A = this chain, B = another copy of it.
Amino acid sequence: MRIGVLGTGTVGRTLASALLSGGHEVRLGSRTTGNEAAVAWAASIGGPASEGTFADAAGFGEIVINATAGTASLDALALAGAELLAGKLLIDVANPLASSNDMPPTLTVCNDDSLGEQIQRAFPEVRVVKTLNTVTAALMVQPTLVDGAHAMFVAGNDAQAKSDVGELLQEFGWPASSIMDLGDITAARGMEMYVALRLRLWQTAGTDVLNVEVRAGG
Contact = CB atoms under 8 A, between A and B. Distances in A.
A190 interface: yes
A162 to B, nearest CB: 13
A214 B196 CA distance: 14
A215 B204 contact: no
Contacts of A205: 214, 216
Interface in A187-208: 187, 189-191, 193-194, 196-201, 203-207
Interface string A106-129: 110011100000000000000000
Most buried by B among A194, A205, A215: A215
Copies of this chain per assembly:
2
27 contacts: A106-B112, A107-B111, A139-B217, A145-B217, A146-B216, A146-B217, A155-B200, A180-B204, A182-B200, A182-B203, A189-B196, A190-B194, A191-B197, A193-B193, A193-B196, A194-B194, A194-B196, A201-B216, A205-B216, A207-B218, A209-B217, A209-B218, A210-B215, A211-B215, A212-B213, A212-B215, A213-B215
Interface of A: 104, 106-107, 110-112, 139, 145-148, 150-151, 153, 155, 180-183, 186-187, 189-191, 193-194, 196-201, 203-207, 209-218
Contact of A217 (B111, B204, B207, B212): B207
Which 10 pairs show the lowest CB-CB distances between chains A and B?
A: A190-B197, A190-B196, A146-B217, A209-B218, A212-B212, A193-B193, A210-B216, A209-B217, A205-B216, A207-B218
Contact of A194 (B145, B197, B209): B197
Most buried by B among A110, A145, A148: A110
A36 to B, nearest CB: 28
Nearest to A203: B183
Contact of A111 (B111, B183, B203): B111
A196 B203 CA distance: 22
A55 B92 CA distance: 50
Contact of A193 (B153, B197, B204, B207): B197
B148 A215 contact: yes
A34 to B, nearest CB: 34
